[in-house]
Amino acid sequence: MADRWWRDRGWWVAVAGGAIAFPIGVLLHELGHFGGFAAFGFPDPVLHFASAGWGDDGQFDSLWRAGDVEAAAAIAPPWQVAASIAAGPVVSYLTIIACILALRRSGPGPLSLVLGVGLVTPFHWTWSIPVLALRLRGARVEWGPDEVIVAAIMGIPQFLVILIALASAVLSYWLVVTSIPRGQRVRMIVPTLVGAAVVGGPVWVMWVGPMLLP
């Protein structure tokens, strides 16, 4: 079976589609952040290859983590910062919903791009696994993933956002996988995952991304 895959042009097309899908999934998420910063009028919003920010040089984050809420609020309204950070996950939710609907209606799409984006997007929520493990061991996690930052700023119980993220990851992957006909799942999903994780991820993060959006 493996030998037939290597000789199958469709296998390599799916690998290429997965590689292209990786930066698409990442940039859609980061464009959510960028759009939030721009919409609220934050100075100098900027889009990087795997992040988005604005021109405060990290001062808001530093002051907020130090507990100086008033000084942080003088730089920017905390709810606007939280909303801009939350915009990334919101875009990811909309993206995965669109991918699942498209998969169920039309299949994996040209070059398996729809399938690829559908596999890349939920990976954002896998941060919930190590964070949950740390919390269960008694460690404090107050900064890092988008949802944890939003929870810290807005006073939302952290375990709630952890459980929502974990449920989102599990449900998203289950819906993506079950959107592919049972007999075709391995043949479609494996090369697309290989393209995204082995080719697209390293090439985008280590070379193309820094060159295009440093």
What value does the mean pLDDT take over residues 3-29?
Answer: 87
Residue 170 has a CB neighbour count (10 Å cut-off) of 14
Say if 38 falls within a structural domain.
Answer: yes
The rounded distance, in Å, linking the Cα atoms of 105 and 116 is 16
Give tens-digit pLDDT for 156-178: 999 999 999 999 999 999 999 99
Give me the chain's average pLDDT, please.
94
pLDDT of residue 144: 87
* Residue 65 in domain: yes
5 has a pLDDT exceeding 70: no
Q: How far apart are CA 133 and CA 110, in angstroms?
A: 39
pLDDT tier at 3, thresholds 50, 70, 90: low
pLDDT at 10: 80
Q: Is 159 within a domain?
A: no
Select the more confidently predicted residue: 65 or 118: 118
Query: Looking at residue 11, what is its pLDDT?
Result: 85
* Inside any domain, residue 116: yes
Number of domains in the chain: 1
- pTM for the structure as a whole: 0.94
Where in the sequence is the domain holding 89, given as residue range(s)?
Answer: 2-124+183-212
Query: Beta-carbon neighbour count of residue 65 at 10 Å?
Result: 13
**Residues above pLDDT 70, as percent of the chain:** 96
> What is the per-residue pLDDT for 48?
97
Mean pLDDT of 24-34: 98
Least confident range from 54-58, 117-121, 166-170: namely 54-58
In a domain, residue 106? The reply is yes
What are the tens digits of pLDDT across the range 31-46? 999 999 999 999 999 9
63: in domain: yes
Model confidence band, residue 140 (pLDDT cutoffs 50, 70, 90):
confident
Question: For residue 12, is it within any domain?
Answer: yes
Asked if the structure places residue 39 within a domain, the reply is yes
Residues facing residue 52 across a β-bridge: 47
What residues contact 87, with CB distance under 8 A and at least 6 apart? 32, 33, 35, 36
pLDDT for 127 beyond 60:
yes
